[in-house]
Structure 1
Amino acid sequence: MKTFKLASLEILDSQESNMVQQSFPLLDGLVINREDEQNRWVIEAYLLHKYYNFFQKLKEKQEEVLIQVKISKESNEPATFITSLIGINEIGAHMNVLFKGTIVDQRKSIVEDKLKSLIDEGYSGEELLIKFKEHI
């Protein structure tokens, strides 16, 4: 396992075909790469207790939660995870929330989308390869 500092946390929620991002100021937090067969990660965010009701409602939905986090420092690019909210713990005037999930490789997704776009435009074979190289 590898452990990193959690630098920021955003919940991504789709509402009426729009993606809404909600940021939460962190008191502390960890991102743990479990390095298991399913490539699962654990994200722990230590927050003010005032967010308890929000996360409790999110947990009650029992749906996957899309989150974006920055690992180690604020200046890093955000990493996106598809997670389940597995725990909420009250700790005095604070709380922690625990997510378990898998990281989404956005670079791979961008490349796949570009390739699909070129195929949809009718490119194939050597011509597809040339056009693809021009775009990346």
Structure 2
Amino acid sequence: MKTFKLYSISLLEGKDGNVHQKMVPIEDGLIINMENQKQMWYIEAVVSEDYAEFFQRVKEKEEHILVDVVITSKDNHPAAMITSVQSITSLSNSKISVLLEAKLAVKKDDVIEDVLKDLVSRGFSEEALLEEFKTRMENLKAHPQSALGSIYRSIQQSGLYKLQ
């Protein structure tokens, strides 16, 4: 089991055929890789109680939330995860703690592949391709919008999850 600091979390919501990111400001948080056969992760985020109703509704309806998380440092690549709400705990100072059970929806290698496909489709080749690829990988702060749409649609179509 490995534990990391949760740097940021954003909700990925499907609307009108597109996926929109909604940042959830966190006060504190951690993410635990259970390193088990099910490849489960747990995310605990301390957020404003303004989000209590949203998370409670998702929990009661037994829905899933697609999230993008960044761990340890803002410079790390995000990880898209499919989550379910396990518990919501009221804290002092108008905060709540939300515990999410999570599985990786896309691996870093898939993101790299998406960046490369995008560059090739835009006509980059040889040295220009290599330079642009290096630049994009250094500056990658989020999944490309096209990748998020593909991830969201494939999760919806799998029938395994009930996206909110």
TM-score normalised to structure 1 length: 0.76
Aligned residues: 119
Give the CA deviation at 1:110: 6.0
Q: How far apart in 1 are the matches of 2:53 and 2:67?
A: 18
The counterpart of 1:107, out of the listed 97, 109, 113, is 109
Kindly provide the amino acid, as one letter, of the partner of residue 95 in structure 2.
Answer: H
Q: Counterpart of 1:4 in 2: which secondary structure?
A: strand
Q: How far apart in 2 are the matches of 1:109 and 1:75?
A: 15
As a proportion of its length, which structure holds more helix? 2
Give runs of aligned pairs for residues 14-93 of structure 1, distance below 5 A.
14-92=14-92, 93=94
**Structure 1: stretches of 5+ with no match in the other structure:** 116-133
Kindly provide the amino acid, as one letter, of the partner of residue 94 in structure 1.
Answer: K
Q: Counterpart of 2:26 in 1: which secondary structure?
A: coil
Q: Counterpart of 2:88 in 1: which secondary structure?
A: strand
Q: How far apart in 1 are the matches of 2:86 and 2:16?
A: 26
Give the CA deviation at 1:83: 1.3
- The residue that corresponds to 1:96 in the other structure is 97
**Structure 2: stretches of 5+ with no match in the other structure:** 118-128, 134-164
Q: Counterpart of 1:27 in 2: which secondary structure?
A: strand
Q: How far apart in 2 are the matches of 1:38 and 1:91?
A: 30
Of the two, which has the highest radius of gyration? 1
Q: Is the 8 A contact 2:8 2:69 kept in 1?
A: yes
Q: How far apart in 2 are the matches of 1:28 and 1:22?
A: 17
Q: Is the 8 A contact 2:13 2:20 kept in 1?
A: yes
Q: Is the 8 A contact 2:58 2:64 kept in 1?
A: no
Q: How far apart in 2 are the matches of 1:19 and 1:63?
A: 17
Give the CA deviation at 1:2: 0.3
As a proportion of its length, which structure holds more strand? 1
Q: Percent identity?
A: 37
Q: Is the 8 A contact 2:3 2:30 kept in 1?
A: yes
Give the CA deviation at 1:16: 2.1
Give the CA deviation at 1:107: 2.2
Give the CA deviation at 1:58: 2.4
- Write the deviation string for residues 78-116 of structure 1: whole angstroms up to 9, x where unpaired: 11111111111111221011111211215236649x89x
